[in-house]
Amino acid sequence: MKRMIVNADDFGRHALINRAVECGVQSGVLRSATVMAGGAAFDDAAELARRTPALGVGVHLTLVNGNPVLPAAEIPSLVTEEGVFCDNHTLFAVRLLRGQINLDEVRAELAAQLRRVEAAGIRPTHADSHQHMHVLPGVIDVVLDLCAAAGIPAMRAPRAPIFAGHFGGIGQLVGRVGLSVLARRAAAKARRCGIRTPDRFAGIVAGEAVDTAALCGIAASLGEGTTEVMVHPGTDNAVLIPDCRWDHDFEAELHAVCAPEVRAALADAEPVNFRALGV
């Protein structure tokens, strides 16, 4: 059996991202999203999740490029002087490897994010993280502990193809190889904890849009089992690019998940969410 999970990251970050998720479920192949507990539009996302049973909602654990749930004074090693997470995921990873990130604070903050999601009436289908921070050494152990304690049955393993999308040279090669190694290590640890991961992962790690042609190609070439495709859809680039401080084509990904061509390419496969991993 071939199955494709199209997962919208950053659910709850912005109301226009939430509207794209709603449209993707109603008119397209989107069946999964992960919600940011510290997102400005979290309450709107939670209400949308409650009224949309076809949407499986996971938790988008956030340690960079966002707002914490706990007061900044309780997690000083995780926040800037302004009380927000640092934007640079590479800087976070370097500080973690140097021992400058307190893993007890990581545990406290991620547990608080999970509690906020659960308190909103969402039973998470899976866990992933903003900019894939959950696969980092030490952080993965915290995440797996929290998933096991909360009964979260699945997790993303971002084992993306090394040469997907536009390729930016040796620095990008090193980054992608590193992520692939950490993702495979994280998936093996998850399996030992009884936490499932999809068989394959697609989506362009460097941030380029998974447009209609790319999603059609993924859908047409699915292998047996379950493939997760990471997307970041939104309804209005002119608003979202400055608000999110990210030069990303949100609209192209919304168009892709709703495109009839993608549905046609999925003729012998099924669009699902992470609940399907337990079937």
CA dist 89 → 85, 118, 132, 232 (Å): 10, 26, 9, 18
HSE-CB of 172 using CA atoms within 13 angstroms: 14
pLDDT in tens, 151-184: 999 999 998 776 565 555 555 555 677 788 999 9
> pTM for the whole thing?
0.94
Strand, coil or helix: 197: coil
Cβ burial of 245 (10 Å; 0-12, 13-18, 19+) is exposed
In order along its 279 residues, the chain shows pLDDT tens digits of 899 999 999 999 999 999 999 999 999 999 999 999 999 999 999 999 999 999 999 999 999 999 999 999 999 999 999 999 999 999 999 999 999 999 999 999 999 999 999 999 999 999 999 999 999 999 999 999 999 999 999 999 998 776 565 555 555 555 677 788 999 999 999 999 999 999 999 976 555 789 999 999 999 999 999 999 999 999 999 999 999 999 999 999 999 999 999 999 999 999 999 999 986
SS3 content of the chain, % helix, strand, coil (to 5): 45, 15, 40
Determine the pLDDT at residue 175: 65
Give dist(CA 175, CA 178) in Å, integer.
Answer: 5
Determine the pLDDT at residue 265: 95
Determine the pLDDT at residue 77: 98
HSE-CB of 67 using CA atoms within 13 angstroms: 12
In sequence order, what are the residues at sequence separation of 6 or more whose Cβ sits closer than 8 angstroms to the Cβ of residue 77? 95, 100, 101, 102, 105
Strand, coil or helix: 271: strand
243, 219, 245, 221: which is closest to 231 by C-alpha? 219
Cβ pair 111, 57 in contact under 8 A = no
Determine the pLDDT at residue 65: 96
